[in-house]
Amino acid sequence: MRILHVLPSLDAGGMEQLVIRLAANAASHGDTVVVASGPGVWVERVVQAGAAHVALPVTSRHAPHGVITAMARLTKCIRQVRPDVVHTHNIRATLLARLALLSARHQAALMPTLHGLAPGDYRAASRVLCLAGGGVIACAPAVARSLKGAGFPADRITVITNGAELRPAGPRRQADLRASLALGAAPVVAGIGRLVPQKNWPVFIAAARRLPGPSYLIAGEGPLRQELADLAAVSGSGVRFVGLVDDVAALVGLASCVVSTSSWEGLPLTLLEALSLGVPVVATAVDGITDLVPPTAALLVPPGDTRAVAGAVSRVLSDGGLASELRREALAAAAEWRPERMLAQYRHAYRAAAAGEPYWGQDRPDP
């Protein structure tokens, strides 16, 4: 098969991580894989996964010239690669790919995956996806429900739950990271993710101010970094911004608690990865989390509730029995989001799409 992935960028994030994993799996099966995207820090990871990369300019409603250039480059790419499947990731990439396929006059299966949107964006997304034709893969049941509620036909939606897993980092890797981050003996409370409004990091910062003592870290990059760093400094919370951490397993292994304060989620891979290592998690009870994470496997709190976040972190740090129970339940729950299951389901969908069959509404393997 020839598979072309199209996505807005290759910045560090869950969607991008999924594309890299899918590319590596397809390449291992002997497929030709090309990833077309805007810029980002993970371009090299795509190449290491065995895929070719085609650079697209940044596209947005504020940069119409970027959209025109991106469509021209993607059209050229389609003519050269002649993909069997064009796998798009989120709405802008889907619209761009549909236009480029028309421009290239090439028949290929268009397979959009929706990784989650702000609640107010689903209605517009439904209209675009209806125009694109075919079906849609939702990364989580909550995304499927929101898309159905926005008017997209339910019988054209299939759910392939994002797969996430980390292998434990050994003592040496953890010690190296502890030294590089200059961590002392205090328990580590970590937030991991992009520095964007969706993640609602001000709640994390305010909760840290309520509960002094631990070492609070936020690992990630994004457009709000300076604004959030200023807020943390002014508040006296002690939260440190450590940028992208390559060894996420070591960071999670050092953490006594991982915290997610998101306002909404499709399905957060970093949170699932933390749970796969059995680390106690405090997270907001939003749809993309409550669908998959049992209430016994993490402490779930209302979105935006600073007091509840601080109280839950305090419970984890002070109650060894609770932390042990959360660890056991998290490890048991993690079987539901094994990457092997996700990869097998996407592989099945690719084969169906390449054969000209619907890739939605089909029985998928469950290894």
DSSP assignment string, 256-288: EEEEE--S--S--HHHHHHHHTT--EEEE--HH
* Cβ pair 240, 183 in contact under 8 A: no
Candidate CATH numbers 3.40.50.300, 3.40.1170.60, 3.30.420.40, 3.40.50.2000; the one for domain 171-336:
3.40.50.2000
- What is the predicted pLDDT for the residue at 367? 45
* Beta-ladder partners of 299: 282
Domain ranges of the chain: 2-163+338-354, 171-336
Backbone angles phi, psi at 302, to 5 degrees: -65, 145
- What is the predicted pLDDT for the residue at 336? 84
In the chain, which residues have pLDDT < 70?
60-65, 361-367
Fold: same for 2-163+338-354 and 171-336: yes
* Cβ pair 104, 127 in contact under 8 A: no
Name the percent of the chain in helix, strand, coil, to the closest 5: 50, 15, 35
CATH node for 2-163+338-354: 3.40.50.2000
Please give the radius of gyration of the chain, using alpha carbons only, rounded to the nearest integer. Answer: 21
Q: Which pair of structure tokens corresponds to residue 137?
A: 């893969």
Alpha-carbon distances, residue 235 vs 207, 209, 238, 259, 262 (angstroms)? 11, 7, 8, 19, 20
- What is the predicted pLDDT for the residue at 253? 96
- What is the predicted pLDDT for the residue at 361? 66
For tokens 């799409």, the residue is 353
